[in-house]
Structure 1
């Protein structure tokens, strides 16, 4: 396993429609929801990610990897892997994949605890899921791409 660089980390909850983004610092190990990129247009997505990378100057990136409960892969697993590979190719930063099976459940309960319920959860859910992915990564970095 490659050593984990210190510094800022951006995490992504990849979806075909929306990509949730969170950020954190390796020294603190605390993740914060940042924003949701809401477009299906690949170039627009990568332009938005490029702006975030310019702004936050991350040392590495983390992508949630969706899997079935029985550890088998499905179509979204392949799309998330392709997204992670594109991030690495385009931005030249270390990219990590993290099992995200429980992150949407964690994200919903985090929003419930914060008093955000029902339809109000939808806009925040993707970035809070990215926050949960990053929190998971801080505990166990997963696999480098």
Structure 2
């Protein structure tokens, strides 16, 4: 779930919550949200630090950001207080 830098809800929050409720209702599964702020920035930094060139990096940023989001989800689900940061 995106958040503003101030921590306030993003303008898309209502739409995201409505979509989550639709998914929960349709598939009878619990839907979790997670703050994905700055994951693209982190992904770009990670790729840059690992000497991935710009052309390849810009193709991989979303994929790496998705991995970071999933990692945060698993950490939060496990009840582990530690995060990737």
TM-score band, normalised by shorter chain: 0.5 to 0.7
Please say which structure displays the higher CA radius of gyration: 2
- In structure 2, stretches of 5+ residues that fail to align are 78-85
Of 61, 68, 73, which residue of structure 2 is paired with 1:125?
Answer: 61
The residue correspondences of 1:104-119 to structure 2 (distance < 5 A) are 104-119=40-55
Give the number of aligned pairs. Answer: 77
Name whichever structure is richer in strand by fraction: 1
Kindly indicate whether structure 1 or structure 2 has the higher relative contact order, using CA contacts under 8 Å at least 6 residues apart: 1
Instruction: Measure the CA separation in 1 of the matches of 2:34 and 2:7.
Output: 13
- In structure 1, stretches of 5+ residues that fail to align are 1-64
Instruction: Measure the CA separation in 1 of the matches of 2:64 and 2:36.
Output: 12
Name whichever structure is richer in helix by fraction: 2
**Any idea what the Cα deviations from partners look like across 1:16-74, whole Å, max 9, x if unmatched?**
xxxxxxxxxxxxxxxxxxxxxxxxxxxxxxxxxxxxxxxxxxxxxxxxx1101111122
Q: Which residue in the other structure is 2:4 paired with?
A: 68
TM-score scaled by length of structure 2: 0.65
Residue 77, structure 1, aligned to residue 13, structure 2: yes
Q: Which stretches of structure 1, 4 residues or more, deviate above 6 A after TM superposition?
A: none
Asked whether the equivalents of residues 66 and 80 of structure 1 are also in contact (C-alpha less than 8 Å), the reply is no
Instruction: Measure the CA separation in 2 of the matches of 1:92 and 1:110.
Output: 36
Instruction: Measure the CA separation in 1 of the matches of 2:54 and 2:12.
Output: 25
**Any idea what the Cα deviations from partners look like across 1:94-140, whole Å, max 9, x if unmatched?**
21111112322222122223433324333322222111111112222
Point out the more displaced range, 101-110 or 112-121. 112-121
Point out the more displaced range, 112-121 or 65-74. 112-121
